[in-house]
Structure 1
Amino acid sequence: MQRGESYLESVKIKLVQYLFNPTVLSRKDVSPAEFSRLTGVNVMRYYRYFKQLHMEATKGFQTDLSEKEIANTLGEMMSYNELTTLYEWARKMRFDKKRDADKRTYRLTKPRKKKKPSMTKEEQQERNAKLIAGLNKGNSHLNISTKEKLNAFVNNQDTTKKEIIELCLALLGIEETTLESTTTMVMMAFADSDFNYYQWALEQYISTKPELIRHDLIKGFQNSDANFGSDNKEQRILDCYRQHKDKFNLAKLMKVGGL
């Protein structure tokens, strides 16, 4: 520590050097879920931290901020306990002295061109068990239902429309996720065998659409002969509804759609 430099100032700088930099944050063994487990802070807050630090996961956590600017921002965002807990963990792990680990891909599954056998529901739940434990351990205020957690994510002022749409389409099995925030939410929903994520996702998707599209979708659900055409992206929603019709409550969808 340099003369005149406070302990807290030293912690903030070291935290940038040991943890909050693109090389370390991109490691597979470093994640917001682990930060949450260590500090007891809601995992979604860390995604907001990355946003404030201009560190997008999909861009390898590269940022235009200097080391000092990152350190100052961390000091403004985090509590003293949070800063020191992460610092002590990062210092102990010394990722900067270890060989590089594989990078995270931020996809729920591998690209289609690298197909692999689908996991069973039980295998998916087992794979996600550690992540879900990380979301809840030491967080009594997170002892709420999966639906409430998803609603909180959607209603958060920092959640973008892109994230909401991506989350809905992934839960409906139409597209894969590309963001770690939505991947976390999707995996959590998949792990809850009592939660009807199909219904939730379609209600959320419909609510994001203009009135005319909402009405067209509902009419398409009601009329088995209706089609939008292969060049209309809403046809995917119609096909999903027909394929998994037993998972949806049409009356509730009609209410969301304004009919």
Structure 2
Amino acid sequence: MGRPVIGIIGNSYLLNDQYAVHAGGIMNSQAIAEVAGCMPILVPSDPALVSVPELMACCDGFLLTGGRPNVHPEEYGEEETPAHGAFDRARDAVALELTRACVATGQPVFGICRGFQEVNVAMGGTLYPEIRDLPGRMNHRMPPDGTTEEKFELRHDVRFTAGGVFHRMMGTEVVRTNTLHGQGIKNAGPRIVIDGVAEDGTPEAIYVDGAPGFTLAVQWHPEYAAAKDPVSRPLFQAFGAAARDWAAGIRPAAIARAV
């Protein structure tokens, strides 16, 4: 049997300001191939081109990646403002429906940064347009200048719930992570369990209560140096294991017991 197939949900961009492309970061593909042990496939995130049932039939799991566009506030019942930034409505249409379908069936889904926010919104949650504007919060955005290494530098701690899913996976209650996001969870969806928070109280690690399969999401970017980073590696390894089970026809128990 070949490697499980992971659909990587990317974003729409203009190459050289004129040529429309669907794109995904190479780091995501490397993490899926080299750490999760799966085959990465980039999904053209547009409901005019793909359907959720088709995607679920040809993939064994999905990676909801980060990206500059934000989830449109209409998806969680709020008005658009300049603070909400750029959008990718086509990705919204695919990723939110796909997340809900995966939660229902137990097909593995792993959310990163924007993907973390998509999981929350898909499950009925809302978002703050700009975390750094909130009293007592740090600036979680990517540094505007510097090398890639400097932009992905570990910048704050995340504390997990004692005995929770992420604590058990990591073997420690506190880890150090990078931070490259502007938005964040305002209200958690009814089934969203906040299992880890940053030093300023910003939610950083979540899962869906009662989901029959792997449904984890993190606000940081574990795809960076995933093979070497002790926080990133177990996330992708667990995701890969869940995808292998799915490919083999094994349907896991609730996520709280599956990690």
Give your verdict on TM over 0.5: no
TM-score, with structure 1 as normaliser: 0.23
TM-score (norm 2): 0.23
Q: Which has the higher helix share?
A: 1
- Relative contact order (C-alpha < 8 Å, sep 6+): which is higher? 2
The structure with the larger Rg is: 1
